[in-house]
Structure 1
Amino acid sequence: MPTMYNITLKPGASPEQLEKAKESARQQGGTIKHEFTLIKGFTVEFPNETVHTLQTDEHIHVEQDGEARAQ
């Protein structure tokens, strides 16, 4: 079953690092579903647990997409 992840880059990341992260996600079988405009990041859907290689980049934060709840 596909899993959605929000990928955000750290504030100091360059536009080139963002493009590199998107390309890496695509190479791992991911499909970019949404690109953020206020922050450097995107939502990607992976068909399996391939996201772990993105997590090894120090400029990238990976978080599984889920329902947001207010407390």
Structure 2
Amino acid sequence: MTNPDFKTYIVTLKENAAVENFKKAINAIGGEIGHEYSLIKGFSIKIPSIRINTIEEDKEVKIQ
């Protein structure tokens, strides 16, 4: 079995989004949080590319 193709994305969260829930969701799909930005409510994330749809479906998240 080969390792999934991982990609890095920048995501921003809506002001009312629960940061800890987002972090748990990323870990649950096999991803990891990279840098946490301080000027915006956002992160760099590294996730299996086949899981990007899971993140895009979350209405609290915007992917850059």
Q: Which runs of 4+ in 1 moved over 2 A?
A: none
Do the aligned partners of 1:3 and 1:45 also contact (CA within 8 Å) in 2? Answer: yes
Name whichever structure is richer in strand by fraction: 2
Q: Distance in 2 between matches of 1:53 and 1:21?
A: 12
Q: Which residue of 1 aligns with 2:7?
A: 3
**Ranges in structure 1 where 5+ consecutive residues have no aligned partner:** 64-71
Identity of aligned residues (%): 32
TM-score (norm 2): 0.78
The root-mean-square deviation of aligned C-alpha atoms, in Å, is 1.4
Q: Which residue of 2 aligns with 1:50?
A: 51
**Ranges in structure 2 where 5+ consecutive residues have no aligned partner:** none
Task: Give the length in aligned residue pairs.
Answer: 60
Q: Distance in 1 between matches of 2:52 and 2:21?
A: 14
